[in-house]
Amino acid sequence: MDVASPEAGIIEKFVASEGGIVTPGVKVAIISKSAAQSKTHTQSSEDTSQKHSTKPPSTKENKVEAKPPKVESSTTHESKLTSSSEPQLPPKERERRVPMPRLRKRIANRLKDSQNTFAMLITFNEVDMTNLMKLLSDYKDQFVEKHGVKLGLMSCFVKAAVSALQNQPIVNAVIDGDDIIYREYIDISVAVGTSKGLVVPVIRDIDAMNFADIEKGINNLAKKATEGAQSINNMAGGTFTISNGGVYGSLISTPIINSPQSSILGMHSIVQRLVVVNGSVLARPMMYLALMYDHRLIDGREAVLFLRRIKDVVEDPRRLLLDI
């Protein structure tokens, strides 16, 4: 961010280093008012001294400079010998080295810590999106007219995840030392990709929200993430994460658990595929789902039943209304 200077002048010295952490009120640079005048005076003095200097360079110095380096031939010979045995790599001039941004460092550290801590296992399933897409198409206009926000896939999957977490509370739990902490609340982190990196803001107490509240919450978080206006509090905590790689065209992936949570749901792109429906082969809009979970806490049975619940609710949204 830009820091306004309290006075005009020339930066004499940077106190804070690039990429360092500073707090409000800390001095970041030293500004000199007289530095510009001093610099101009010094430059004029150097130009004057160069004009009055008439001492010619010595002949000995000329001879030394004219001599070719003795090691030139051996160096050339050595490079010829090694060129045949060493791989030919592109020159360094064709590479660009930049410091890693702090956000990327944080993402890298968290993901590596997650990989080192959890016993990660993954289960897959596929879901027929026909009924849900028809529901969205039939009621999209009325939904916008009443609530002022579009009805999208994410809120439907969030609702399905809430139902699955309530059916399998162990997926909403977490290991803390030798204890298991069962959370009696559901805070879902929604992965949002930005130009600076991936952030996962949290929608809290989402089990008490309706579809409109969820859509408004997701839109608000996505806007803040894109503008870089997310605070630490918005991204702290969370009991479960949903990542939608399908918006970028991902067919299937294996998401990494967002520590300290115990599981993450991966959504993917909707693709028309031939499937068997009641004995007939039909083209249906299908999506692969992936659930990555901590096998230290969650057994395969609970993980499969959790993902199966999401599949059942998405394929028949009436289950949410009847709670079956």
Catalytic residues: 295, 299
Integer Cα distance of 165 and 183 in angstroms: 10
Largest Cα–Cα distance of the chain, in whole Å?
102
Q: Which residues of 49-63 are buried (b: 16+ CB within 10 A; e: fewer)?
A: eeeeeeeeeeeeeee
The letter for the amino acid at 7 is E
Count the neighbouring beta carbons within 10 Å of the beta carbon of residue 164: 23
Distances (CA, A) of 245 to 216, 259, 290, 315: 21, 19, 11, 20
Both structure tokens of 12: 């004499």
Both structure tokens of 69: 């380096």
Residues in a beta bridge with 10: 32
Contacts of 149 (CB under 8 A, 6+ apart): 143, 212, 215, 216, 219
Both structure tokens of 195: 């130009």
Residue pair 194/225 in contact by the 8 Å Cβ criterion? yes
The letter for the amino acid at 319 is R
Cβ-defined contacts of 178-181 (< 8 Å, 24+): 180/297
Integer Cα distance of 249 and 269 in angstroms: 5
